[in-house]
Amino acid sequence: MEIERSVSLLQYMEDEGLVPSGKEEIRRRNVIVKLKQIVFVWAKKIAYEHRLPKSCIRAASATIITYGSYGLGVHNHESDVDALCVGPGFATRAEDFFIVLRNMLENRPEVSEIYCVKDAKVPLIRFKFDGVSVDLPYAKIHGISVPEDVDVFNPFIFANMDEISWRSLSGVRANRSIFQLVPGIETYKSLLRCLKFWARRRGIYCNLFGFFGGVHLAVLVAVICQRHPDTWLSALVSIFFKTFAFWAWPTPVILFHDIVPTHYLHTEKSLMPIQLPCSLNEYCRSYITTSTFGRIREEFLRGHYMTKDVLSSNFDWKILFEPFSYAYHYARYFKIRLSSSDRNELRDWVGWVKCRLRSLLVKLEDLLGFCDPNPTEYVDATLQAPNTVFFWGLKISRSHKIDIDAIKKEFVKNINSGSERALGKIDLSVVKVSELHDMNPERTEACRWVSDGNGQRIPVASNYMAQEWRW
C-alpha cells in the first residue's frame, strides 16, 4: 500500500506540472552553459581593462554555480534559475559586475528584462535568458583563476572573503551540505517538491510575508529524510506533518552532521529557528511573526490530521493540497494597493515595498492581535495605472477602531527611508470580502509577479532588499 500511495503522489505532482519536461531541462542547461562562456570571457576582459600582465589575462577566469531549487533539482517549469557568478579577486562588484558584466549581458540577443538589485542583502543582476528567469549574484575569491569545479568548502580559497560574497555563497554551500548529509536524495527531492507545492497552496510560502522561504522547507524536509532513511515517500509526508505539528518551538531544527545531540545551544531570536546546514552558527533568515507563526502551526496540524490515514485505500492527495480559502476565513481585509505610472517603476516599487512589509504586519498585529498576510497578488481592473494589490486577512469586530491615516503615515515614512524618491503610490484601506471577489481572480505565484495594468504580468524584485537566496 505504501508503494501505491507513493506512486499516486508522484503521479499527482506530474499531473500538476511540478516536474519540468525534458525540453525545458535542456533549455535551462543550455542557459547555464552560455552563462559560463560569458563570464569566462568577462574575466579576461576586465583583466585586460585592469592592465594586468599578459600571463594573468591568460589565466583569468570565472564560473557559474547553480543553487536553490534548480541546484537541488526541485524546480518546475515556472521556476527561475539561481546562478552564482564566482569571479577573481580583482573583479569589483560595483564596476566590473554591475556595469561591465551587465552591459555584456544586455548586448546579448537572448537577454531581456535585465535590471540590477544592488541594495539587497545578496545583491544581484536579474534577467531573462532565452525566456528563462535568472538571478545572478556575485562572489569573488582571492585569486586570478576560478576553477569550474571550485570547492566551496575550501578554507584557503575563501579565506578573508568579503561579507557580501560570503552571503552570496551561502546558498551554494547549503545545497551541497544537503546533498552530503541526506540519504536517498531522489526521495528527498520528491518530498521537497511536494511540500513546496503544499505551502504555496496553503498560503504560507513567502519569506518576506513572514512565512517559509525555500531554504526553510529544504532544511525541514532534509531533517525528516535524514532521520527516516529508506522510508517510502507517502509515509514521509505523514511523518513530516506529525513531526513539525508537535515540534517544541523555539527548539531549533538542525540538520546534523553526525550524532543527534540531546541538548541544544540556541541564541537565535526567532519563533521557528532553522539552522543553515552549512554552518553551526548561522540560521535561515526569518521574518516570522506571531500571526504567521500561528498560521504555519495550524497548517502543520491540518496536514497531520489529513495524512494520518495516508495508507487507506480511499485517501485522496487532492484534499491535502486544496488552496486556502481566504474568503471563507475572513470577512474583513487590509488592502494594500501599489501603483505607478510606468510598468518598470512598478516592478521596482513593489519590490521596494515588499521588503518593508514586515513592519506593517507587526503594526497591525499590535493594533488588532492578528493579521494573515496573504502573499497572493491581485489586479485592480478599475485602476488604469499599472498596479498590484494585496489583501491581508483580519479578525476584527465593530469595536475595533483603525486609524488608517496614521498607519499609512508611519509606513510611508518607513518605505521612504533610504530611497531618493518615491517610485510609486500606495493606498491602504480596510475592506469587506466582497471587494476581494471583485478583483482579478488570476492567482500568480507568491512573490513573483505584478500587473502592468494592461492584463500582462511582469517580474517583480520579490526579495529586493531582504533576499537571502531563493529556492
pLDDT band at 20 (very low <50, low <70, confident <90, very high): confident
Spell out the residues 6+ positions from residue 192 whose beta carbon is closer than 8 angstroms to its own: 72, 74, 217, 218, 221
CA distances (Å), origin 439, targets 299, 324, 380, 393: 26, 17, 6, 15
Q: Which pTM does this prediction carry?
A: 0.87
398 has pLDDT over 90: no
Instruction: Please report the DSSP string for 203-272 in residue order.
Output: T-B-GGGTSB-HHHHHHHHHHHHHHSTT--HHHHHHHHHHHHHS--TTSPB---SSSPPSS-------SS
Q: Which three cell numbers stand for residue 446?
A: 507568491
Beta bridge partners of 271: none
372 DSSP β-pair partners:
393
Q: What is the total residue count of the chain?
A: 471
Q: How confident is the model at residue 265 (pLDDT cuts 50, 70, 90)?
A: very low
The pLDDT tens digits of the residues spanning 131-171 come to: 999 999 999 998 899 998 888 888 887 778 899 999 899 89
The conformation of residue 40, written as its DSSP 8-state character, comes to H
Count of helices and strands (H, E) across the chain: 16, 11
Neighbours of 207 (CB within 10 A): 27
Predicted confidence (pLDDT) per residue in 33-60, tens digit: 999 999 999 999 999 999 999 999 999 9
Element housing 334 (H / E): strand 332-339
Distances (CA, A) of 118 to 124, 208, 418: 6, 18, 13
Helix (H, G, I), strand (E, B) or coil at 387: strand
3-state secondary structure of 249: coil
Confidence tier at 422 by pLDDT (50, 70, 90): low
CA distance 142 to 216: 31
What cell numbers appear for 10 in the block? Answer: 508522484
Query: How does DSSP classify residue 465?
Result: T
Annotated active-site positions, please? 69, 80, 82, 135, 196, 205
Q: Looking at residue 1, what is its pLDDT?
A: 67
Q: What single string gives the DSSP state of each residue in 264-310?
A: -------SS-BB-TT-SS-B------HHHHHHHHHHHHHHHHHHTTT
DSSP H stretches of helix in 375-467 = 404-416, 433-438
> What is the pLDDT of the chain when averaged over all its residues?
87
Q: Which tens digit of pLDDT belongs to each residue from 96-137?
A: 999 999 999 999 999 998 988 887 788 999 999 999 999 999
Most confident range, picked from 21-25, 219-223, 466-470: 219-223
How far is residue 7's CA from residue 62's CA, in Å, rounded to a whole number? 42
In whole angstroms, what is the distance from residue 64 CA to residue 169 CA? 11
Q: What is the mean pLDDT of residues 77-90?
A: 91
Q: Tell me the three cell numbers of residue 120.
A: 539587497
User: 184-228 pLDDT, tens per residue?
Assistant: 999 999 999 999 999 999 999 999 999 999 999 999 999 999 999
Q: Each residue of 276-291: b (16+ CB within 10 Å) or e?
A: bbbeeebbbbbbbbbb
Residue 281 phi, psi dihedral angles, 5° rounding: -115, 0
Residue 453: predicted pLDDT: 43
Cell of 253: 531544527
What would you measure as the largest C-alpha separation in the chain, in angstroms? 76
